[in-house]
Amino acid sequence: MDYVGPFTFTCVRSVIGGLVLLPCISLLSRLNGQTEKNSAGSKKLIPGGICCGLALCLASCFQQFGILYTSVGKAGFLTAFYIIIVPVLGLFFGRKCGPFVWVGVLLALAGLYFLCMTESLRLGTGDILVFICACLFSIHILVIDYFTPYVDGVKMSCIQFFVCGAVSGIAMLIFEKPELPQLFAAWKPILYAGVLSSGAGYTLQIVGQKDMNPTVASLILSLESVVSVLAGMLLLNQHLTSREILGCILMSAAIILAQLPQKE
């Protein structure tokens, strides 16, 4: 964000993510010798990719703008609010959760608080933008949940990236003035976000969410906060405070609890 605007960053990383998946799709098709499994899946593939791409684009842009006006800790906490929003929205679509999952959601929320929040609870403009981002990521998770039983996850992910790149690209041309020197100056984070965060991360999310309860998926996704803290400790020699250790323990317990077998 020191070099490029939010729309430019979202556009370029999304296009890179889509391009990375093209050879993967070709290789997987050759290895599996598969075309589209059925006509229903073929009809849902493009609408699924478009819906996922729009949700991802809006969520990413709101997140990028929100980070400009709030702290990293608050942004991490508010973004992961999808662990509450997903099960609530899921109730409207007939997605019920057992008691263990609901307790896990509350534990994870408490863990996120201890892990991310170190400052005032007062909400500013950036906090509101990031909270809207959390709502949009919740929709993204539920859209994936709806389409994955019918379509090839890697192909749908590829479509979502090009849709996300196209929409954010239009906004980029209208509201920002991208320049090649700025893009080259930020090439490392852009390349990482495009290849690994988008191309690998979001694609594995789509593939992994197949036949999984979306609330459990959201709980597992929220572990990104724990991983970031542990990575800071291992790679950057940062030290965990007692609050952060408690947060990691609570979130890990939440994931384990949500996975325990229970009666419907």
Domains in the chain: boundaries: 6-259
pLDDT, mean of residues 95-123:
76
CA dihedral 125, 76, 106, 53 (to 10 degrees): 90
**pLDDT value at 156 more than 90:** yes
Distance CA 180, CA 85 (A): 39
Q: Output the six-digit token pair for 120.
A: 């005032």
pLDDT, mean of residues 190-212:
93
Percent of the chain with pLDDT over 90: 44
Distance CA 28, CA 46 (A): 19
Instruction: Provide φ and ψ at 41, rounded to 5°.
Output: -65, -40
pLDDT, mean of residues 134-154:
93
Distance CA 171, CA 5 (A): 11
DSSP letter assigned to residue 241: -
Estimate to the nearest angstrom the gap between the alpha carbon of 193 and the chain centroid: 12
